[in-house]
């Protein structure tokens, strides 16, 4: 028969004795608990004991579903919501749900327009410091995440994870399919954004004019029409632009770069929008039709000029079709 344990005799266990010894050594007179490994101090003894698991590698809290282990009970509780699907933190403005309260608070900054983290290189602002750090890699050229399969590098860890799916299951990288149109996405968050195309949901509102937007990025771009903010300066002449894409297009006027080529006639353009307008020339059917006379036009501005001729009191030109070209 085994002798009774220390707990059965009413005596403290070896683990409890060890923890008590650690606290007695770490606790100076001012009731501050200091880690003997790294010198970090804590106001409460239990906080020190939790911290020391970083050094010891101890992870006493295990998920029964996937066997993943954690240093804190609170971390396990949050993790379990991945398996249960529980998202108890709801955004009152757009209804989006989150597993952690901290993620909800970060998300609400987007609705409030708070972007306190400024890039010193280009002036772009971010709601979260982590996004600023990722953005700064554009300027430094840092690509710290390496694919072990093909050697391709990435700025973001999530970009690497998405890429790695292309090496798995015969290249089946797109795992989230839209039930409305069948389009597939690599991430569930991208599918959620896409579904707004079908539902018509526009959860982001401009505080200045009340206009609604489907995506927060569109709201941020629109907001600059009210503030007059132009944070993107041309690196050649100093002209400033509201949008980074506009600056990049403008800079091609200095470099002469024309990366968008027409497959029909090989003519090249500085932007995809200019190429799209050009392609209408090769199209047999004009996309813009006059509701009055059914005349077709390849460009919207030409249709607008034409519609002016249908206004009462506007004289007709001498053209064979009774219209004139306004330049």
6-49 confidence digits (pLDDT tens): 444 444 455 555 555 555 555 554 557 888 888 888 888 888 88
Segment holding 62, helix H or strand E: strand 61-62
Between CA 202 and CA 247 the distance in angstroms is 27
Q: Interhelix angle for 14-26 vs 45-56, to 10°?
A: 110
Q: Are 270 and 276 spatial neighbours (Cβ–Cβ below 8 Å)?
A: no
Q: Model confidence at 310, in pLDDT bands (50, 70, 90)?
A: confident
pLDDT at residue 324 is higher than 50? no
Closest by CA position to 60, among listed 68, 69, 50: 69
Say how many domains are in the chain.
1
Q: What is the mean pLDDT of the chain?
A: 79
Check residue 209 and give its pLDDT: 92
User: Which pLDDT does position 175 carry in this prediction?
Assistant: 67
Q: Is 168 within the bounds of a domain?
A: no
- Round to whole Å and give the CA distance between 306 and 324: 8
Q: How far is CA 247 from the centre of its chain?
A: 21
**Residue 125 and residue 117 in contact, taking contact as beta carbons nearer than 8 Å:** yes
Strand-pair category, 61-62 with 41-42:
unpaired
Rounded Cα distance between 218 and 220, Å, is 5
Q: Does residue 29 sit within a domain?
A: yes
Answer yes or no: is 72 within a domain: yes
Residue 75: helix, strand or coil by DSSP? helix
Q: Give the pLDDT confidence score for residue 173 in this predicted structure.
A: 47
- How far is Cα 77 from Cα 75, in angstroms, rounded to an integer? 5
Q: How far apart are CA 14 and CA 166, in angstroms?
A: 51
pLDDT for 319 equals 39
Report percent pLDDT > 90 for the chain: 1
Helix (H, G, I), strand (E, B) or coil at 290: coil
Residue 174 scores a pLDDT above 80 = no
Residue at 70 is within a domain = yes
| pLDDT reading at 123 higher than 80 | no
Asked if the structure places residue 157 within a domain, the reply is no
pLDDT in the model for residue 169: 54
Q: Is residue 15 part of a domain?
A: no
Better-scored residue on pLDDT, 268 or 169: 268
Q: What CATH number does residue 71 fall under?
A: 3.30.160.60
Burial class (CB within 10 angstroms; exposed 0-12, middle 13-18, buried 19+) of 89: middle
Is residue 33 in some structural domain?
yes
Backbone angles phi, psi at 301, to 5 degrees: -60, -35
Residue 61 within any structural domain of the chain:
yes
The H-or-E segment that residue 102 falls in is: helix 101-112
Q: Which helix (H) or strand (E) holds 136?
A: helix 129-140
> Which pLDDT belongs to residue 2?
47
- Which range of residues forms the domain containing residue 27? 22-86
Which residues is 41 bridged to in the sheet?
Answer: 34
pLDDT at 320: 37
User: Which segment of 66-80, 116-130, 133-147, 189-203 scores lowest on mean pLDDT?
Assistant: 116-130
């Amino acid at each position: 028969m085994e002798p009774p344990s220390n707990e059965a005799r009413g005596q403290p266990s070896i683990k409890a004795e060890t923890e008590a010894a650690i606290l007695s050594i770490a606790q100076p007179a001012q009731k501050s608990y200091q880690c003997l490994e790294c010198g970090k101090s804590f106001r409460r003894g239990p906080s020190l004991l939790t911290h020391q698991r970083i050094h010891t590698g101890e992870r006493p809290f295990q998920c029964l579903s996937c066997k993943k282990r954690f240093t804190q009970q609170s971390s396990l509780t949050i993790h379990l919501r991945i398996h249960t699907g529980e998202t108890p933190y709801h955004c009152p403005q757009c209804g989006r749900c989150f597993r952690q309260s901290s993620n909800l608070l970060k998300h609400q900054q987007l609705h409030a327009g708070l972007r306190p983290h400024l890039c010193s290189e280009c002036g772009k602002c971010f709601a979260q410091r982590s996004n600023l750090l990722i953005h700064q890699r554009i300027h430094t050229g840092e690509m710290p995440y390496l694919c072990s399969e093909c050697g391709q590098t990435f700025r973001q860890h999530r970009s690497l994870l998405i890429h790695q799916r292309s090496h798995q299951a015969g290249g089946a990288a797109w795992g989230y399919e839209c039930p409305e149109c069948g389009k597939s996405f690599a991430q569930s968050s991208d599918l959620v954004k896409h579904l707004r195309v079908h539902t018509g949901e526009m959860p982001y509102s401009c505080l200045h004019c009340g206009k609604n937007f489907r995506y927060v990025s569109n709201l941020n771009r629109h907001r600059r029409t009210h503030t007059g903010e132009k944070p993107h300066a041309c690196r050649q002449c100093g002209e400033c632009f509201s949008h980074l894409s506009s600056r990049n297009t403008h800079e091609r006027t200095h470099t002469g770069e024309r990366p968008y080529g027409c497959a029909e006639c090989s003519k090249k353009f500085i932007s995809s929008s200019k190429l799209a307008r050009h392609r209408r020339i090769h199209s047999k059917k004009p996309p813009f039709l006059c509701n009055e006379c059914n005349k077709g036009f390849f460009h919207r501005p030409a249709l607008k000029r034409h519609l002016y001729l249908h206004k009462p009191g506007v004289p007709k030109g001498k053209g064979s079709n009774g219209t004139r070209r306004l330049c």
